[in-house]
Structure 1
Amino acid sequence: MSPYIYVLTTNGLLFLLSVIFWKFPPKKINNFYGYRTFKAMQNQDIWDFANTNFNKSLLFYSGISFLGGLLLAQFSAKEISWEPMVLVMLSILVSIIKTERALSDNFTDEGKRKK
């Protein structure tokens, strides 16, 4: 498989999904679509904050991942195998960690905004 096709189907797909999540965020708390953790689903205020924060973060880091994957494909002397998937996983992991940290900084455990 061509390295470019591999990057498009991994990193490119994540970037496309992040654009969709950013353009069409979930309006109400649900079990199917959006950033769904126990803390994010406590109330509508937290839900909106968590999804906005996660979508911006995922868009940024998946864009970096996509560009990094394209650079790997451009400069690799052999077939690339696991490197683009590591970039995908790091993008998702960093976005989750940043969102959970932002939730902890802005909301109490009971679901109220910190002042």
Structure 2
Amino acid sequence: MSPIIYVLTTNGLLFLLSIIFWKFPSKKINNIYGYRTHKTMLNQNIWDFANTVFNKNLIIYAGISLIAGMFFVNFTNAELTWQPMVLVLLSVLVSIIKTERALSDNFTDEGKKKKKK
């Protein structure tokens, strides 16, 4: 497989999915589509907040992942094997971690909005 096609089918697909999530976010709490955890499904405010934060983070880090993958293709002589998949994994993990941190900073475990100090 061509290295460019490999990067486009891994990192490019993640970037495309992040654009779809950003353009068509989940409106209501459901079990199929959106950023779904126990905490995000407690109420609609948390659901909206979590999906907004996750979608924003995912589009940023998926874009960085795609650019980095294309950089590997164009500027390194090494054969690409696992590098694009690691970039995809890191993009998703960073997006999840940042979303969970934002949730814990803004909401209690019971789903109530924290008061600003």
* TM-score, normalised with respect to structure 1: 0.98
Structure 1 gap ranges (5+): none
- Residue aligning to 1:16: 16
Using the aligned pairs only, state the percent identity: 74
Q: In the alignment, does 2:37 pair up with 1:27?
A: no
Matched position secondary structure for 2:108: coil
What number of residue pairs does the alignment pair up? 115
The 5-angstrom pairing of residues 48-67 of structure 1 reads 48-67=48-67
RMSD: 0.6
Alignment gaps of 5+ in structure 2: none
Inter-partner Cα distance in structure 1 for 2:23 and 2:67:
21
Distance 2:73 2:39 in 1: 38
Q: Distance in 2 between matches of 1:19 and 1:85?
A: 19
Deviation, structure 1 residue 79: 2.1
String of CA shifts for 1:24-68, please: whole Å, max 9, x gaps: 000000000000011111100000000000000000000000000
Secondary structure in 2 matching 1:34: coil
Distance 2:78 2:39 in 1: 44
Distance 1:53 1:8 in 2: 25
1:101 alignment partner in structure 2: 101
Match of 2:84 in 1: 84
